[in-house]
Amino acid sequence: MFELRDGDLVDVDIKPRQRVMILKGTEIRSMHPQKPRYHAGRNYMVKVCTVLPGHKYNAWVDRSSAPTVSWAGEGGYWCYANANDVKIV
C-alpha cells in the first residue's frame, strides 16, 4: 500500500481518465445530499477524474490522508474513494 512519512506527498500510479475498479465494500464519500457516505455493494468500473496525493501533516500530529480518487457518480454527484481500495485495470 502507500506508506506516508513526515511531510511526504505520495504519488500513485492512477492517472486521470484511467478506468479503475471500485471493489465491493469500499467506503465511498459522495456529494449526494441523501447519501454522503456509503459502502459499495458490488465491484464496478469508473473513469477517474482527479487523483489527490496522500499526505502526512507533520511529526507532532499523527494524522495523515491517504491518496484519493474521484469520479462522477450516480446523478452526476462527485464520489471519492481511498486509492488503496481501488484496482487498476
pLDDT digits (tens, 9 = 90+) for 12-70: 788 899 999 999 999 999 999 999 999 999 999 999 999 988 776 665 666 667 889 99
pLDDT at 58 (0 to 100): 60
Mean pLDDT to the nearest integer, 69-80: 93
Q: What is the CATH number of domain 9-54+62-88?
A: 2.30.30
The residue type found at 37 is R
Q: Could you tell me if residue 13 is left (phi over 0), alpha (psi between -120 and 50 degrees) or otherwise beta?
A: alpha
| DSSP structure string for the chain | -----TT-EE--S--TT-EEEEPTT-EEEE--TT-SEEE-SS-EEEE--EEEPEEE--SSS--EE--EEEEE-GGG-EEEEEGGGEEE-
pLDDT of 7 higher than 80: no
pLDDT of 85 higher than 80: yes
- d(C-alpha 5, C-alpha 73), whole Å: 32
Q: How many residues does the chain have?
A: 89
pLDDT at 54 (0 to 100): 76
pLDDT of 77 higher than 60: yes
